[in-house]
Each structure stands twice: as C-alpha cells, then as structure tokens.
Amino acid sequence: MQAKEELLEQLGESYGYVNRLVEKKIEYFKLNLAETSATTISGIITGVVLAVIGLITLILALITAGFALAAAFDSFVYGFGLVTLIFLILFLLVLALKKPLITNPVVRKVISKFFEHDGKEV
C-alpha cells in the first residue's frame, strides 16, 4: 500500500512539473510571437511613413526637374516629357526585376524575423 501511495505521489509531482513546463512553453511562445509581431508592425509603419515622405520629396524633385529641363529645352512638353520617359523606363525595369529586387529580399527578411533565435538569425 505504501509503494502505491508513493507512486501516486510521484506521478502527481511529475504531472505538476509537466503542467508547469507546458505553461512556461506556451507563455514563451506568446511572448516571442508578441515581440516578433510588434517588431514587424513597427517596421511596416516606419516603412509606410518613410515611403510617404519619400514620395512627396520625389514628386517635388520631379516637378523641379521638369521645369529645369523645360527651361533647358525651351519647351514644357520636352522637359516634362523627358522626365516622364525616364520614369517610364525606371518603372519597366522595376517591373521586370521585381522578383530579385523586391520579392526575394522581403521574403528572406520576414522569414528571418520569424525564425530569429536569441538575437541571431538562422
């Protein structure tokens, strides 16, 4: 009878240890997910803010370039047409090289963020 009670007591202790271990693992997973999500969301927000500021700056720079080229060619059509042509070529290049320039680096960065261990990427 004594051995049976000791066995039940040890099983109860083991169950308690396993239960606490599972709870700690779940808590660690939640914290890790929260940290990864917060880092990713803050990166996205920062990227959007920088993109908006960059877009406004680019628009103003293009207007300036259009007027400068218009003065050089003595024609608004040629000045702004050349700016448009340059951007059309740039657009087609980015469209053609989308996968190696944008898609692959973004996928690598997101995957490395989610599988980061102790501050080191795997």
Residue 23's identity, in one-letter code, is E
pTM of this structure: 0.62
Cβ-proximal residues to 39 (8 Å cutoff; 6+ apart), any chain: 113
Chain-centroid distance, C-alpha 36 = 10
What pLDDT score does 117 carry? 63
Residue 68's identity, in one-letter code, is A
Please provide the average confidence, as pLDDT, over all residues in the chain.
88
Using the predicted structure, report yes or no on whether residue 122 has a pLDDT greater than 70: no
**Interval 5-16 mean pLDDT:** 78
Using the predicted structure, report yes or no on whether residue 116 has a pLDDT greater than 80: no
DSSP 99: I
Percent of the chain at pLDDT > 70 equals 94
Q: What is the pLDDT of residues 41-83, one digit of tens each?
A: 998 999 999 999 999 999 999 999 999 999 999 999 999 999 9
Give the relative orientation of helices 104-114 and 2-73 as an angle to the nearest 10 degrees: 150
For the chain, domain boundaries: 1-116
Q: Is the dihedral of CA 33, 38, 39, 40 positive or negative?
A: positive
What pLDDT score does 88 carry? 95
- The residue ranking higher by pLDDT, 4 or 109, is 109
